[in-house]
Amino acid sequence: MTHIQRRGITTVFGLSLALLVTPLSAQASPPPPVDESRLVPSLSPTFGSWTCRTSKDGPVCTGERHLSGDWGLFDFPCGDTQLWARGESDRYQTRYYNNEYLDSYREFRTNDIDYLATSPTGPATATISTNVRFNETFAVPGDDRTRTIITHGLLWDIRSIQGSAAWRAVGTLVEPPDGVGKFTGHVTDGARTTQYVDAPLGDVLSDDTFIGAVCAAATADG
């Protein structure tokens, strides 16, 4: 065996031995905990719990919120018929902050349902449902006023408890921070289905259309 070969073997053996006896304190230490008081914007207090961890790009925080309300007056009566409503919501959120602790991106998953009734305590005669994923991108990290919100899925489903949907929209809604929201997808209004591409939200679902669909669904059995 040559001197060079012996030296190489000795070097490898020495490195292996060094790895075996390296104390744990010399290995990579865990990342520091997130100082939640520094986060901008701060974490929403409406979410019951938040869990934050440190990544190489900055803090990542996840939270969830579960709400269930009591019956109360609905904002829009249907002619001489007053409606009452109560809501349930399950929402999950992840926020991504940069290394300066400024929020730059958010992801959401939400399933909301409003129950409508023609009496103060129910039973429900109609529902308004939303089941979507959406994300929020910041043009200026940390500044809520610069968010663009992009929502995908079942945006609205208005239906009688006993019947088919009175009005339903499935697709993508893009809401810029300083402009009108645009919808791409299809809307089912009774027996008619309409396809939209980058349509202003007001053209897709006006106040009159919304109230008309809600009243038709809520009073269908009345």
What per-residue confidence (pLDDT) applies to 30?
Answer: 74
Count of domains observed in the chain = 1
Torsion of CA 34, 36, 39, 45, to 10 degrees: 140
What per-residue confidence (pLDDT) applies to 71?
Answer: 97
What per-residue confidence (pLDDT) applies to 28?
Answer: 59
> Average pLDDT, stretch 76-86?
92
What per-residue confidence (pLDDT) applies to 161?
Answer: 93
Q: What is the pLDDT of residues 180-207, one digit of tens each?
A: 999 999 999 988 999 999 999 999 999 9
Q: What is the pLDDT of residues 135-187, one digit of tens each?
A: 999 999 999 999 999 999 999 999 999 888 999 999 999 999 999 999 999 99
Q: How many CA atoms, within 13 angstroms, populate the side-chain half-sphere of residue 80?
A: 1
Q: If you write DSSP's letter for every residue of 117-154 in order, what string do you get?
A: ESSTT----EEEEEEEEEEEEESSTT-GGGEEEEEEEE
Residue 161 lies in a domain: yes
Residue 160 lies in a domain: yes
Residue 47 lies in a domain: yes
Residue 20 lies in a domain: no
Residue 204 lies in a domain: yes
Residue 1 lies in a domain: no
Bridge partners of 184, per DSSP, are 172
Cβ-in-10-Å burial (0-12, 13-18, 19+) of 166 comes to: buried
Asked whether 162 and 220 are in contact (CB, 8 A), the reply is yes
Overall residue count recorded for the chain in this entry: 222
Residue 4 lies in a domain: no
Residue 50 lies in a domain: yes
- What pTM was estimated for this model as a whole? 0.82
Range of the domain at 160: 33-218
What per-residue confidence (pLDDT) applies to 221?
Answer: 61
Distance (Å, whole) CA 181 – CA 216: 26
Cβ-in-10-Å burial (0-12, 13-18, 19+) of 83 comes to: buried
